[in-house]
Amino acid sequence: MDRKVKLGIIGIGNMGSGHAANIIKGNCPELELVAIADKNPARLDWARAQYPETVTYFDNAIDMLDSGLVEAVIVAVPHYDHPTFGIAAMERGIHVMVEKPAGVYVKQVREMNEVAAKHPEVVFGMMFNQRTNHIYRKMHELVHSGKYGRIRRTNWLITNWYRPQAYYDSGDWRATWSGEGGGVLMNQCPHQLDLWQWICGLPVKVQSNLHFGAWHDIEVEDDVTTYVEYADGATGVFITTTGDGHGTNRFEIQMDKAKLVAEGDKLTVLEFNMSEPEFTKTNTKPFGHLEVTEVEVETDGLNPQHIGVLNAWAGAILRGTPLVANGVEGINGVQLSNAMHMSAFLGKTVELPVDENEYYEELMKRVATSRRKENVNAVFADTADTYGSKTKK
């Protein structure tokens, strides 16, 4: 029988249980679920009723990492603890897949990346499952091929994240500075922030207008309009909210020789008959315009999502094949979200990379007055104290 990677899951909430289900169903044939850790006794009891008797349960993630049972783990805990357990796994030579986002603030994610650099034997992946979507993979391919010249403008209007107040009332950690570290940027949009920078690159300047509790009774952002500038002079806009009853998801990239639009599970490419720089130099008509041809874009149609990310990770562990997203790339989306927050906090344009110490200080001011005050100390708590110390079968 082919060897399987012995896997543990840290956190058996919505995401952790989804990954466990995929593995148990055989959708990830090179992964074997052998252990689960969660500090919530009710979740452990629920898991025992769902999964095979061969799974061992821990109410302390560190005990699981030290048990010798697992060679790889998925980290699916609240945002602040993603780097905590990513680092703990790496330091023990255990392969790690971290759920999005990589963390709440750049400083902690950079520290995780520094530990990763010291442990090249560890396969470190990020759960950026939207990178498996054939539409975004094709956009990445076309933009980076050089076929259409340079990017001139990027616009992403992603307002189909509607959430009613009942969503935020369903958990005291939701939409709090101490529980999630932000709102729509930290919860709903990490995938889009990652795709934006993966396809278009990171900007160098960010000016962001964030509205905190604009449409809901929450303390964090639920409405965002951001303008960015890139090093080569290109510009971009990113707009998102959880307040639009019926929103839009439209990603547009204007290039020298083409316009790319992703909307409604469809990628449209308009190819120009010549590059815009060439046209504007040679055209003699005051209202002249570029002729375009809509081209049929061929993709493989595949969109394996979480299963695709996990199978690629298993392949990287067993055979050295490529990951969907290397874990160290997770810092880029956090850079963007931190820059957007910082711009709103200070009311000015900020440059990337953000001043990570200044951002941490600004964030902690908000954590200290968060509605979920009982969690403030947990942000700084020792991992062992937070996650208990008993092993249960």
Structural domain spans, the chain: 5-130+305-332+388-392, 134-295
Nearest-angstrom CA–CA distance, 11 and 390? 15
Q: Which residues pair with 237 in a beta bridge?
A: 155, 227
Percent of the chain with pLDDT over 70: 94
Whole-angstrom distance between the N-terminal and C-terminal Cα of the chain?
Answer: 26
Torsion angles phi and psi, residue 254, rounded to 5: -95, 125
Q: What is the mean pLDDT of residues 170-182?
A: 94
Task: Give the Cβ contact number of residue 46 at 10 Å.
Answer: 14
Best CATH choice for the domain 134-295 from the list 1.10.287.3510, 3.30.360.10, 3.40.50.300, 3.90.79.10: 3.30.360.10
Rg of the chain over Cα atoms, rounded to whole angstroms, equals 22
Q: Are 43 and 13 in contact (CB under 8 A)?
A: yes
Nearest-angstrom CA–CA distance, 130 and 269? 20
Nearest-angstrom CA–CA distance, 362 and 364? 6
Q: What is the mean pLDDT of residues 151-163?
A: 98
pLDDT at site 60: 96
Task: Assign 2 a pLDDT band (cuts: 50, 70, 90).
Answer: confident
* Lowest mean pLDDT across 8-12, 18-22, 182-186, 379-383: 379-383
Taking Cα atoms as reference points, which of 108, 78, 154 lies closest to residue 330? Answer: 108
Q: Are 42 and 50 in contact (CB under 8 A)?
A: no
Nearest-angstrom CA–CA distance, 44 and 35? 11
Nearest-angstrom CA–CA distance, 12 and 193? 25
pTM, two decimal places? 0.93
Nearest-angstrom CA–CA distance, 366 and 26? 43
116, 123, 267, 381, 386 from 314: Cα distances, Å: 18, 9, 30, 32, 30
Q: Is the pLDDT of residue 386 over 80?
A: no
pLDDT at site 390: 34
pLDDT at site 373: 60
Chain centroid to Cα 261, Å, comes to 22
Taking Cα atoms as reference points, which of 149, 223, 148 lies closest to residue 185? Answer: 223
pLDDT at site 271: 98
Q: Are 23 and 97 in contact (CB under 8 A)?
A: no
Nearest-angstrom CA–CA distance, 136 and 130? 8
Task: Give the Cβ contact number of residue 165 at 10 Å.
Answer: 11
User: Domain 5-130+305-332+388-392 carries which CATH code?
Assistant: 3.40.50.720
CA 279, 281, 285, 286 torsion: positive or negative?
A: positive
Q: What is the mean pLDDT of residues 127-149?
A: 98
- Record the tokens describing residue 25, joined without a space: 């169903």
Q: Is the pLDDT of residue 108 over 50?
A: yes
Average pLDDT in the chain: 94
The 10 Å CB-count burial string (b at 16+, else e) for 299-313 is eeeebbbbbbbbbbb
